[in-house]
């Protein structure tokens, strides 16, 4: 039996070839799986088990989030000519799928088969996508404001073709 919250992981090595990921399709239902995260590791997974209880994903501790799914979201398809590069000659040698279950499973219930279908090609795309994760573990938005930006998180992005700065608030 799984407790009230469980995080289960499974890993797939991708170090043998260079792969280009262009589509992610969740094989899950929000009634069973609360959310799923796909991580990239620069080495081995934390466990050699086929499925393990995981707060940690990668053996050396370094990981990057590559994809997230929740609430029965539809498949994510990158634009034509764009893909994520993983595997040989990249920093991602293993991908780890973490599934968060937010309910108790009884032994009498059918086995869950939540997962992620990852569409890949060996053909190098015109553009290689990257992940720029913006996150804060603690922030507070004041009440009754139409917008808010903490002064400690303000950036200015310059776009030369438009000759202007775009404020980016994290």
Residue of 25, 91, 95, 93 lying closest to 57 (CA atoms): 95
- 34 carries a ligand binding annotation: yes
Residue of 125, 133, 122 lying closest to 67 (CA atoms): 133
Residues 110-116: contacts with CB under 8 Å, at least 24 apart: 112/32, 112/33, 113/27, 114/26, 114/27, 114/28, 114/29, 114/32, 114/33, 114/36, 115/26, 115/27, 115/28, 116/24, 116/25, 116/26, 116/27, 116/28, 116/36, 116/38, 116/67, 116/69
- 79 carries a ligand binding annotation: no
What is the CB neighbour count within 10 angstroms for residue 21? 24
- 100 carries a ligand binding annotation: yes
* Residues contributing to the annotated binding site: 34-35, 100
* Residues contributing to the annotated binding site for Cu(2+): 34-35, 100
């Amino acid at each position: 039996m799984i407790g009230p919250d469980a995080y289960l992981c499974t890993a797939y090595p991708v170090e043998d070839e260079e792969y280009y990921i262009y589509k992610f399709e969740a094989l899950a239902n929000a009634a069973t799986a609360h959310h799923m995260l796909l991580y990239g590791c620069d080495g081995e997974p934390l466990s050699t088990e086929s499925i393990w209880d995981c707060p940690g994903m990668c053996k050396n501790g370094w990981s990057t989030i590559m994809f997230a799914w929740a609430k029965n979201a539809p498949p994510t398809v990158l634009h034509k000519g764009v893909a994520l590069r993983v595997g040989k000659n990249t920093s991602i040698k293993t991908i780890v799928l973490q599934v968060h279950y937010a309910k108790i499973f009884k032994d009498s219930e059918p086995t869950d088969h939540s997962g992620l279908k990852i569409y890949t090609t060996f053909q190098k795309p015109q553009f290689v996508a990257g992940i720029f994760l913006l996150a804060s573990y603690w922030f507070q938005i004041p009440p009754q404001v139409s917008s808010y930006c903490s002064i400690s998180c303000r950036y200015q992005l310059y776009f030369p073709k438009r000759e202007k700065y775009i404020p980016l608030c994290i």
